[in-house]
Chain A
Amino acid sequence: MLSFHFKKKLRDFELNIEIEVGNKTLALIGHSGCGKTTTLQLLAGLQTPDEGFVEINGTKLTATKENLFIPTEDRQIGFVFQDYALFPHLSVRENILYGIRHLERPEKKKRLEEVLSLLQLEALEDVFPTQLSGGQQQRVALARALVTRPSLLLLDEPLSALDISTRSHVRTELKGLLDSLSIPCVVVTHDYEDARVLGDEIAVIDQGSMIQKGTPEEIIKQPASPFVAEFVGTNLVVQQAEDSSHCKQSLMIAFHPWEAEVSQFPLGKNYHWEGDIVDISTLGAFDRLHIKGNQSFLIDVPTEASTFKRGDHVYIGVSEDKARVYASHTLYDSQTSTLSKERQHQLQKKSMVLRRRKNRWKISVTITSMVAVIIFLILFSGIKGFAGTSHTGKVVTMEALIAANATDPMNTIIKNYERANPAIAIKASYAGTQIIQTQLEQGAPADIFLSANLSHIQTLQKEGYVKDFYKVSKNHEVIIVPKNNPAQIHNLQDLGKKQAKLIIGVDTVPIGQYTRQIINKASRDYGPNFKKDVMGRVASTETNVKQILEKISMGNGDAGVVYLTDVTAQYKSKVKIIEIPEKYNVESINYIAVTTKGPHPKRAKAFLDYILSAKGQGVFADYHYDPTN
């Protein structure tokens, strides 16, 4: 026994339905969008009504007055979707067992065998849904729903996914199955034929309201409105009549298409109308005429007797004994006051908005807290130990930010220093001066800073990141050309004369600035055109010296300007060095300082002293640096 009442504001109208169903099948019928699928979802708890209740066998599932709403998963209902919604990743057996996983193994087996035989699916147990025909899919969906022993079965357009040829067969099979169940079933369909076969009772729905409810026979005999009559394929005429007490009353006159007569001339019958034939369809032994007058009629005439053509003007007559005449019955009272209705809508809207906001709020809180917990865990778990800096004993680790041009000598010096002081480890980060300057400013925990030029370290001094700084190495620039020297460059002046692709540093890095200074100085002697010619031949500007070296050594450029010390053994076989006259050349000096915010200032000072000592300076000399004094 199922009873329910729903009120819910939909987009174009309000759904307002109240029905009781015994342990039999109710077919909800109506055009698409009339609210019938919404009704199913309200029953299943997939949507919430604005107002109303659902009760099965005395148990309430939804009751807005008591603020009761049992979630879908606890309702014990079977729901067969329009296209069956079989899980594509599970086999037929797995699909059927999906809802009863929590049961004991023997019980599961028993139920599985039961539904498999009930729905003749034994042979398809291991097949996947994509391999099944429409009818088979429907049976699997039914089996999956029935195996949970639901107390209510809902079917949404169970036959619309099937093609015409299999449809009537499946329909009668489904009818047999529904009859064998002793639970209430609600079938939603837009097809009267489906409703007639499947439903013990039919409820016709239009614009969210129930227009008529009854057995299929009742409905076809006495349709409650022209809408119902049209839906079930019969004729209904509503006539205004006055009864003896001069009260106006609507009179319904219903008759089947085969109960009327048609003629080109007026017929002397009790009930008669006229109209034009708009369509003729042949249904075996008779033709069905669609006639349009004040309203439309469907009239059958025997095929052999039919002389009618489309467009003919005809008269329709029905004799008194054939016509069913009855007073209009108000099946549903939808005449509640409009004012209160509107107010209700407003209230409902408000509560819906609130509910939605509540949900959104819940989701965002969940996500935020998850993220927060994870970040927290990571920061405080022992991932620091994972860093690979697993030093035994009391080794102190210092960090140094070093301009990339000093990579090789500083690596050697660090190695030497660590060997001499086993309690100290030095991690060096090599990058362009601009980058390491930014890193220091942004809080890199470095003890030592080595700058490739004066301005950067002066800036840091002004900002208070370093205090005193010292010259640590001196270097000068040279021209390099590929070993085979394709542009035939032999001295600085040739850069302005010969057609060559030049590769120099970008003007924001020291090497680029020095190169431009050299060219400026030289153009005083070589003439103003020298600068213009040279700069016109620059094919690429690089952010560091190694890039210039790489490009020249691979022959991608004809000449470049780099520090002498950068031309290491590995490059010496690939490039040729051309010295720049001393009067034009620019000294490049690296400066070093202990940082003010580093964690180990004393040890850093000791290391700095070591670098500036003869031992440290010796390493620079080994790498062909010029003496600093």
Chain B
Amino acid sequence: MKNFWTPFIRLILALGIAIMLGFLFVPLLSVFVSMTPGELFKKLNTQVSYQALYLSLGTTLIALAIIILCGTPVAYWLAKSHFWGNRFVRVLIQMPIVSPPAVAGVGLLLVFGRVGWLGSTLSFSGLSFSFNLQAVIMAQVFISAPFYISSAMQAFETIDDKFLAVSRTLGVSRWQTFWRVTIPLASGGLLTGAALSWGRALGEFGATMMFAGNLPGKTQTLPLAIYTAMQSDSKTAIAMSALLLFISFVLLLLVVLVGRMSHLRQDAKKKEGDSDAIISF
């Protein structure tokens, strides 16, 4: 028997969902509809925005490379070795996700700033880490690495050790096994982690502002350029926001598509195999 209230509850639920979705999408869409595409493009066509765009893409790609190179061993180590304090290290690694980026900026300054712990020592050797390109990359790595590491860690964790053992009994070394079994099996999680991480690095603002400063063409990434433009010409800021959103969207789409493709390959073969699978014991 149908409850009298069911339609009302459904209506309220539908309304709630619609409001939530609207709330999430409309602010993002507004960036695109507030200006005509021609105007958008005209506002974007300035040296400042190009500089910021190239700087953003370049630094985030370097940051991503560092994150993948250094983060993968860390993730694998945390996922596969059981030492005392493992959990504690895991929590520590996630800290940058929950701590405000401004805090990260302050922390980086305290360590690498001119009067910071390491910074003061390193400045004697002529090295400087703050307010330059290295600083931008460092801030991005600091803020976005945990996204990759925790995603990769989960991916590695789900791989049963028996696959690694059986690979070795088949005469394949640990290192080869890592490339031929672990990486393919973890690829989904690694890819998602890399995309999340890249997206976060692209949007990084607070720590960069604090630690690297806001110099056009030098440390001014797209988010900083948007912030700066907002202080003088909000239309340019909107145009740059649209650009950043567009890049992030393409990035997300790419990840979904690549993930799909690797699944499709298996699915196609599965379907082929369906008819054969009937021949069983």
Contact = CB atoms under 8 A, between A and B. Distances in A.
Contacts of B180: 98
Interface in A369-383: 370-371, 374, 378-379, 383
Interface stretch (B8-16, B91-99, B164-172, B246-254): B164-172
Contacts of A379: 127, 134
Max count, chain A CB within 10 A of own CB: residue among B81, B163, B166, B231 = B166
A89 B266 contact: yes
A201 interface: no
A438 B106 CA distance: 10
Which interface class (under 10, 10 to 19, 20 to 34, 35 or more) fits B? 35 or more
Interface stretch (B26-34, B67-75, B148-156, B197-205): B67-75
Contacts of B83: 360
B255 interface: no
Interface in B252-270: 266, 269-270
A443 B115 contact: yes
Which interface class (under 10, 10 to 19, 20 to 34, 35 or more) fits A? 35 or more
A619 interface: no
A3 B123 CA distance: 64
A72 interface: yes
Given A127-B269, A411-B232, 12 more contacts: A72-B168, A79-B165, A83-B162, A85-B160, A127-B273, A128-B266, A132-B277, A136-B277, A383-B133, A404-B231, A443-B119, A443-B123
A388 B55 contact: yes
A128 B185 contact: no
A132 B276 CA distance: 9
Contact of A99 (B77, B172, B232): B172
Contact of B69 (A76, A360, A374, A404): A374
B258 to A, nearest CB: 15
Given A443-B114, A443-B123, A148 B170 contact: yes
B214 A366 contact: no
Interface in A9-43: 41
A429 B212 CA distance: 11
Interface in B116-142: 116, 119, 123, 127-128, 130-134, 137
B131 A148 contact: no
30 contacts: A72-B168, A72-B169, A74-B171, A81-B165, A85-B162, A124-B276, A127-B269, A133-B277, A134-B281, A135-B280, A145-B169, A378-B62, A383-B134, A387-B218, A388-B54, A411-B232, A427-B215, A427-B216, A429-B214, A430-B228, A431-B209, A431-B213, A435-B210, A442-B130, A443-B114, A443-B131, A444-B213, A546-B231, A568-B232, A570-B234
Interface string A539-551: 0000010100010
Given A79-B169, A442-B130, A389 B73 contact: no
Contacts of A386: 58, 133
Contacts of B173: 71, 73
Contacts of B223: none
Interface string B204-246: 0000011001111110000000001011111000000000000
Contacts of A570: 233-234
B281 A546 contact: no
| The 7 A-B residue pairs with the shortest CB-CB distance in the complex, in nearest-first order | A443-B114, A99-B170, A127-B273, A135-B281, A442-B113, A133-B280, A79-B169
Contact of B217 (A44, A169, A427, A441): A427
B109 interface: yes
A112 interface: no
A386 B160 CA distance: 43
B73 A367 contact: yes
A79 B234 CA distance: 67
A73 B172 contact: yes
Contacts of B279: 123-124
A296 B167 CA distance: 46
Contact of A367 (B77, B218, B280): B77
A91 B267 CA distance: 11
Contacts of B74: 367
A384 B62 CA distance: 13
Contacts of B131: 439, 442-445
A170 B281 contact: yes
Contacts of B277: 124, 127, 131-133, 136
Interface of A: 41, 44, 46, 71-79, 81, 83, 85, 87-89, 91, 98-99, 123-124, 126-128, 130-136, 144-145, 148, 154, 166, 169-170, 360, 363, 366-367, 370-371, 374, 378-379, 383-384, 386-389, 399, 404, 407-408, 411, 427-431, 435, 438-439, 441-445, 544, 546, 550, 568, 570
Contacts of B137: 378
Nearest to B69: A374
B215 A442 contact: no
B66 interface: yes
B115 A378 contact: no
A131 B270 contact: yes
A58 B211 CA distance: 66
B232 A126 contact: no
Contacts of A87: 163, 167, 181, 185
Interface SS of A by simple majority: helix
A378 B77 contact: no
Given A124-B273, A399-B215, A430-B214, A136 B163 contact: no
Contacts of B269: 91, 126-128
A144 B232 contact: no
A387 B280 contact: no
A133 B215 contact: no
Contacts of B62: 378, 383
B55 A387 contact: yes
Contacts, number: 193
A290 to B, nearest CB: 33
B100 interface: no
A133 B77 CA distance: 35
A85 B163 contact: yes
Nearest to A81: B162
A450 B23 CA distance: 41
Contacts of A154: 169
A546 B168 contact: no
Contacts of A127: 269-270, 272-273, 276-277
B169 A431 contact: no
Nearest to B74: A367
Contact of A389 (B130, B217, B228): B217
A368 B77 CA distance: 13
Nearest to B165: A46
A127 B83 CA distance: 39
A384 B219 CA distance: 11
B22 interface: no
B116 to A, nearest CB: 7
A382 B166 CA distance: 44
B37 interface: no
A249 B234 CA distance: 102
Contacts of B73: 366-367, 370
Contact of A442 (B115, B134, B165): B115
A132 B273 CA distance: 9
A244 to B, nearest CB: 56
Contact of B169 (A44, A128, A429, A568): A44
Contacts of A360: 81, 83
Contacts of B128: 443, 445
Given A379-B127, A546-B231, A128 B113 contact: no
Max count, chain B CB within 10 A of own CB: residue among A123, A386, A388 = A388
Max count, chain B CB within 10 A of own CB: residue among A75, A387, A399 = A387
A427 B171 contact: no
A366 B169 CA distance: 25
A253 B86 CA distance: 56
A396 B191 CA distance: 43
Interface string B179-193: 011001100000000
B133 A546 contact: no
A77 B172 CA distance: 12
A235 to B, nearest CB: 35
Contacts of A79: 165-166, 169
